[in-house]
Amino acid sequence: MNARDRTRPEPVAGMAVRSTMDLFAAADASPPTPPSTEPLAPGAIVWRGGAASCAGALLADLQGVLDAAPLRHMLTPGGFRMSVAMTNCGALGWVSDVTGYRYDAADPDNARPWPAMPRSFLDLATRAAAQAGFDGFAPDACLVNRYEPGARLSLHQDRNERDFRAPIVSVSLGLPAVFLFGGTKRSDRAARLPLAHGDVVVWGGPARLRYHGVLALKEGQHALTGRHRINLTFRRAG
């Protein structure tokens, strides 16, 4: 049962006519609030729709970030242009170029610090982490990924962060995508997980170093993001 289900209590079989007031009273008396998150794998939980109610605020604050640090297609160490457009906010930003991957306090395109992480971003990320048991998560980096139809992210591990005890929190906005969740070896078979607008996933503990990727985005339209999917990943990098 999730939060949306709980807002509409169902009549109990065998009970005759009850007023709407009684039904809500019965809902109030029901056992402790069930968690709105589901376990996905050891160390990983999904909070379906966890960002749905704040998506408008997140996207409004994202615009300020993009004005200061525009999205760009980085190069892989192999010299390929990434199909996903990226930027960052927070003290550190993830960057890729022909020399490799790293976190950097400066935006390589303009040598300025990355824009600050908006309060709305930080609030959501810390609330999500706490629901997965990671109290005190203090992300210092938020990588913004923007997918257009056809854009994909091949199977990889996130291992440029200093301390793998901190989880990664990911927030999906806009068009849906299929996420690939593999094992700790690249050759391990990957499960497919559909991620929709508002879904929040926390990847920690034994899930932290699992291979993952995103299948090519399908064409579509979303009321808030047009033909794009936006993913925010919050990390403790430094």
Per DSSP bridges, beta strands 153-156 and 168-174 are: unpaired
Residue 210's binding partner out of ligand MD3, Fe ion, none, with CB under 5 to 8 Å set by partner kind: ligand MD3
Binding residue (CB under 5 A) for Fe ion from 65, 115, 129, 158: 158
CB of 67 to Fe ion, least distance (A): 25
Residue 214's binding partner out of ligand MD3, Fe ion, none, with CB under 5 to 8 Å set by partner kind: ligand MD3
Binding residue (CB under 6 A) for ligand MD3 from 37, 88, 145, 225: 145
By the 10 Å C-beta count (0-12 exposed, 13-18 middle, 19+ buried), 157 is classed as middle
Range 75-114, binding Fe ion (CB under 5 A): none
Tokens 């379906």 correspond to 48
The residue with its CB nearest to Fe ion is: 158
What string marks each residue from 176 to 215 as x (binds ligand MD3 by CB under 6 A) or -?
A: ---x---------------------x-x---xx-x-x-x-
Which CA distances in Å does 12 have to 20, 26, 78, 211?
13, 10, 62, 45
Range 59-98, binding ligand MD3 (CB under 6 A): none
- The separation between CA 128 and the C-alpha centre of its own chain, rounded to angstroms, equals 10
Q: Which two tokens stand for residue 170?
A: 């990911």
Helix residue spans in the chain (DSSP H):
3-6, 20-29, 55-68, 119-131
- Whose Cβ is closer to ligand MD3: residue 87's or residue 170's? 170
Residue 145's binding partner out of Fe ion, ligand MD3, none, with CB under 5 to 8 Å set by partner kind: ligand MD3
Range 63-82, binding Fe ion (CB under 5 A): none
- Span of 86-94, 114-122, 151-159, 217-225 interacting with Fe ion by CB under 5 A: 151-159
- Whose Cβ is closer to ligand MD3: residue 107's or residue 158's? 158
Q: Does 225 bind ligand MD3 (CB under 6 A)?
A: no
CA–CA separation, 149 vs 142, rounded Å? 23
Tokens 């992210």 correspond to 153
CB of 69 to ligand MD3, least distance (A): 16
Strand ranges for the chain from DSSP E = 38-41, 44-47, 85-89, 93-97, 100-104, 141-147, 153-156, 168-174, 177-181, 191-195, 200-203, 212-214, 229-235
CB of 54 to ligand MD3, least distance (A): 18
Choose among 62, 77, 222: nearest CA to 142: 62
Q: Residue 24: helix, strand or coil by DSSP?
A: helix
* Contact footprint for Fe ion (CB under 5 A): 158
* Contact footprint for ligand MD3 (CB under 6 A): 143, 145, 153, 158, 168, 170, 179, 201, 203, 207-208, 210, 212, 214, 231, 233
